[in-house]
Structure 1
Amino acid sequence: MKFSLTVALVILVILQGTESAPLVKPDLSAEIAKVTQYFQDMSKLFTTTSTELVEKVKAYELTSKAEAYLEEGKALLQQLEKVQEEMKPLAASIEEQLKPLSASLQAHIKPLAASLETQIEDLIKRVVTQTKALLPPQ
C-alpha cells in the first residue's frame, strides 16, 4: 500500500506539473519581435545588395559598350588610313597630269588678263576725262 500511495503521489505531482506548465506563458512576443527584426534586416540587406549588384552590372555593360564602340572606331580609322594610302599615288598621278594643263591655261589667260587690264585702265581714263569736262571751270 505504501507503494501504491507513492505511485499515486508521483502521478499527481506529474499531472500538476504538466497542467501548471501551460499556465506560465513564455515571452513569445519578444521572440517574435526578434525574428521579425531579423527578417526585416535580411530584407534590407538583400534589397541593398541587389541594387548595388544591378548598378555594377549596368556600369559593366556601359563600359563594355564603350570599349566596343572605341574598337569599331579604331577599325574604321585603320580602314580610312588604308584608303588614304591607296589614294596617294592616284592623287600624285592626277597632280602630274594637271600641271601641264594648268601651265597651258595660265599661258592662255595671262595675255587675256593683261588685255582686260589695259581696257579697264583706258575706260577709267575716259571716264575721268569726261567727268572733268562736265565740271564747271574754276
Structure 2
Amino acid sequence: METSVDVRKDVYLRNCPCRGVLDLLANKWTALAIGALEDGPRRFGELRRKLEGVSQKMLTQTLRELERDGLVSRTVYPVVPLRVDYALTELGRSVAEPLSAIRRWSEENIGHVQRARAEYERRAEADPVPAR
C-alpha cells in the first residue's frame, strides 16, 4: 500500500526514505535471515542455529525490523510452550531473489576479493602513503 505523501524516490538524495530500506537490505543479518526463510517458516531457535554467529539480541532486532517493514510475518501460536513462527511475506519473497544473487556472488567471488585484499595490503606496505 503506497502512501499519498509526495516524496522524490531517489536513494542518492540525502533525505530519501528509500535509504532506510537500503540500509536494512544491505545488512548481512537481514540478507541471511531472508535467505534462511526462503524455504518456509522457521522458529526463532531454528533461525539462530542457521545463522551461525548471530546473537539473540541481533536476531531479535533484525526480525523486528523485517516485520516492521513488511518483509516478515510473525505468527504466535497459543500453545505451551509458546510457539512463534517467522515467514517471508509477499514483499519479503520479492526481495529474496536479489539478495540470493548477492549471497551467491559473494560465495563465488570470495577468492577474487581475498586476492585483491592481499594485493592491496602488499602495495600499502610497500608505499605507506594512503590513497586519497
State if a TM-score over 0.5 links the two structures.
no
Q: Give TM-score, length-normalised by structure 2.
A: 0.26
Q: What is the TM-score of this pair, normalised by structure 1?
A: 0.25
More helix by share: 1
Between Structure 1 and Structure 2, which shows a larger proportion of strand residues? 2
